[in-house]
Amino acid sequence: MAYPKKLLAPGESIKFEMRPHWRALILPMIVLIALVFFGTWLFFLTDSSILRWIIGLGGIVILLFGVLIPFLHWITTQYVFTDRRIIVRQGLLTKEGRDVPLAKVNSVSFEQSVLGRIFNFGVLQIESANVDGTLSIKDVPDVEEIQRDVYRLQEEDDVRRRGGSHGNNTSPVLPTDGT
């Protein structure tokens, strides 16, 4: 599901958007497979209809909290990077969002565990001059590349705000005559 264009400011464009890393779905898939296997086995092992109802209700609860809710959390979380800001949105029934203007970004760092290095994901931390402080985005795919892209977007936004043109690779900040 793409980020709605109507929520962007005039002239603002999306550079890239993503969801949390797919590894967030590994545990729910394991729970689903185990639930189907053991739930079916227990269901047909018992003869009592009361025990079958208990097993069925227990399976529904496990399915809801172990599979459906984590999947809905993953599918409704968006990380959007525009040419002016970083947007994090999540939630199905209740929405939660946070925007950080690129002009307010002080530093961008990342953390990557051993598992993160294997599966190529990490935590992106964006320190800003906003009152809210640091924006921590978890489960970012290709976190190292995203860190570099945020710095690039920040530089392009700075050139845009100063009225410079970066179409011909000139910057109003740096001299072009080599001095």
| Domains of the chain by residue range | 5-20+79-161, 24-74
For 5-20+79-161, CATH number out of 2.60.40.10, 2.60.40.3140, 3.40.50.620, 2.30.29.30 equals 2.30.29.30
Closest by Cα among 96, 27, 37 to 68: 27
pTM here is 0.75
Angle between helix 26-45 and helix 49-63 axes, rounded to 10 deg? 180
Residues across the chain? 179
168/44: higher pLDDT? 44
Mean pLDDT of 166-178: 48
| Contact assessment for residue 43 and residue 52, using Cβ atoms and an 8 Å cutoff | yes
Q: For 141, how many CA atoms within 13 A lie in the half-sphere containing its CB?
A: 12
Which of 4-8, 56-60, 103-107, 164-168 is most confident?
56-60
The pLDDT-based confidence of 175 (bands split at 50, 70, 90) is: very low
Q: Taking residues 21-40, what's their average pLDDT?
A: 93
Radius of gyration (Cα) for the chain, nearest Å?
Answer: 23
What value does the mean pLDDT of the chain take?
Answer: 86
pLDDT in tens, 48-104: 889 999 999 999 999 999 999 999 999 999 999 999 999 999 988 888 988 888 888
